[in-house]
Every structure is written in C-alpha cells, then in structure tokens.
Amino acid sequence: MEPVNERALLERCRAGDESAFQELVDRYKGLVFALIARTVQDRSRAEDLAQEVFLRVHRGLPYFRGEARLSTWIYRIVANVCVQDSSRPATVSLDDERAAPVVPSASDRQFGDFELRDRLEKAIARLPANYRLLIAAHYLDGVQYEDLAAALALPLGTVKTQLYRAKQQLRRMLETDLK
Amino acid sequence: MFCDEALDAVEAIAGGDLTADGRIAEHLATCPNCASALVRARQLERVLQRRGVPQPPPQFTARTLARVRRARWRSDQFLDVGFNLAVILIVVAVFGGVWMLLNRTGLVAVTTDAADLFGSAFVTLVRRVAPSLPLYAGAAALLASALGLWWWAERDAAL
C-alpha cells in the first residue's frame, strides 16, 4: 500500500470509521491468516488467532505512531501472537504426533515431492515457534527479508541465519524420517 | 573445505543466496554426502516455494468486526462501571464530609430536629397517598419496563 493511502486509512481508523477498519482487515487478512495458518496448522485456531491479531491492531491504533510501516507492525503482532500461542499447553494433534511417530513403509521411502510435502507439514509442526514463523513468512509473496527483520527486531543477517538453520533442521528431520 | 562448512552452506546455495563456487563447488563435486544434502536442500526449497497459501474463510472480515465490536462494548461497559463507582465514592465522601462538618459545628442537633420535622411530614404524605398507591406502583412498573426495553435495544445496537 502507498504510504499516503496508508496514512489516510490509519487516520480514518483512528477517527472511529468502521468502514476504514474493515478495509484494513480486508487488505491484510490474506497475509495474516496465511502466516498464522502455516504456523499453527489448525484452521479454526488460525482463524481465532488471526482475529486476535486484528483485535490488537484495533486496540493499538491510537498508539501506533507510524514510524514503521503498517505491514511491519502487523507482522510484529502476528509474531507475538504466534509465540504466545506456542507457549500454551501442547495441542491434541501434537500429542498424537509424539505418541505415535510416523513410521515410513518400504514403498514410502522415496524422496518424492508428494511424500515430502506430507512429511514437511509434520516436520514444520515440530520446529520451534520462531522458526515456524520464519518458514511461513519467507515463502509468502511479497514478504522480504527486510520485512521480517523489522518485524522481529532482528538484524538482517540473523534473520537469514535463522532461516537457514530452520531449513537445515527441516532437512535433517526429513532425512531421519526416511532412514 | 570440510563437510561441516559445506553442509552449513547448502541451504544458502539452495535458496539462491550463495553461489557454489571455488572451494565449495570443488568439495560438492567430490563429496557424495554433501552433494546429496544439496540435492535434498533444493528439493525442500522447491516444495516450500510450492506450499499452498491458506485462504481465510469467507466470513472472516464480518466475524472479526463483530469480535472487535464486542470487545469495544465490553471495554465501554467496564469504563461505565468504573465511572459509576467513582461517582458513588465521591457522593459518599461529600456527604460524609458535610456530616462531619455539621457534627463539629454542633449543627447536627438542628439537623436532627429538621429530620424529625421532615419525617412527620413524610408520614402525613404517605397516609394521604396510600389509597392511590396501586396506581403509582403501576405507573412506576410501566416506566421501569420502558426503560428496560430501551436499555435492551441499545445493548443490541451496540453489539
């Protein structure tokens, strides 16, 4: 969004214009929902958390000074919400995962994309929350390393290093699964 | 070049952030373990890039706005209760202060006489009004119902 439009939209939101806030939700819901759904991997929980993000945006609007871009501020809220959610007791699906690890059958032992995709989702669920978020965000259109660095308040180099480590962990998990 | 260094670089190479040249390329050409890691890192990169983008449900915006309105209404109610409590406390403090002032200046005796006077006047008023009491009670109930309906309609509108 252009900075001028963004400022105007924020001003309208601050003035209590509900249609402006609706516009803001419509503009960012795809990004926010995709990020969270990829991180928590449970659609209903993802919707709840995405709504929580917009609730926090609404509450925080009077205090948002516009020093950062609106999208950066929203990424930061998404990161906080995801990290807080990950500190909750483990979900049933994760418990199930731990109780009954997937044992690959002989015919499954190929590193084909189809199997890989299925295993990938399970492996991502086992990553630490900050790595899950990085993996989720990096592969969304329009999200740059710079956006992530600003949102997570980390140097650009650290973001890249953490992303490589996350992918390295994923690769090792997938290799271990296939052994 | 050792395997550890090469394995640390394969994700950057697969992601296109690093070009495998010089010592790294030499090592990858001679070490089957690291070469295989790079192949898998590239496959992983490809699958991550093709990962589906989850879309929000169709009613997402409406549900989010409803939740925001509910939260705002609750916050307003909380403020209202706080404000009312503060007003009650101020009124109690003012009356307490006035009573203490009257007590210190000896005016309480005068106010007691005044209270007796008002009390007897009130008793007389009640005796006169008593026959029409059902009518007043009915009117009061009607007013209370109207106020209740108005409050209920306002609450629904706020939601």
The domain tally of chain B equals 1
* CA separation for the pair A6, A17 (Å, rounded): 14
CB contact under 8 A, B64 and A175: no
B34 and B52 Cβ atoms separated by less than 8 Å: no
Considering only the beta carbons, identify the residue of B17, B48, B49 that sits closest to A160.
B17
Range of the domain at B46: 3-50
Structure tokens at A51: 């709504």
Report domain A3-178's class: mainly alpha
Question: What amino acid is encoded at A166 in this protein?
Answer: A
pTM over 0.90? The answer is no
Q: What is the DSSP letter of A91?
A: P
| Stretch A128-142: mean pLDDT | 84
B33 vs A contacts (CB less than 8 Å): none
User: Could you report the per-residue pLDDT of A20-74, keeping only the tens digit for each?
Assistant: 999 999 999 998 999 899 888 788 999 999 999 999 999 998 888 877 888 888 9
Q: What is the DSSP letter of A154?
A: -
Amino acid A84: pLDDT: 86
Amino acid A139: pLDDT: 86
Could you tell me if residue B12 is inside a domain? yes
Could you tell me if residue B22 is inside a domain? yes
Structure tokens at A115: 């199997």
Could you tell me if residue B42 is inside a domain? yes
Residue of A nearest to B36 (CA): A175
Helices (H), A41-155: 43-60, 70-86, 92-99, 113-125, 129-138, 145-152
Question: What amino acid is encoded at B27 in this protein?
Answer: H
E strand residue ranges, chain A:
none
User: Could you report the per-residue pLDDT of B49-89, keeping only the tens digit for each?
Assistant: 888 888 999 999 999 999 999 988 888 888 888 999 999 99
Chain A residues interacting with chain B (CB cutoff of 8 angstroms): 18, 21-22, 25-26, 29-30, 33-34, 37-38, 43, 46-47, 50-51, 54-55, 58-59, 111, 113, 116-117, 120, 135, 139-141, 160, 163-164, 167-168, 170-171, 174-175
| Neighbouring residues of B9: CB distance < 8 A, sequence distance ≥ 6 | B18, B20, B24
| Neighbouring residues of B68: CB distance < 8 A, sequence distance ≥ 6 | A21, A54, A55, A58
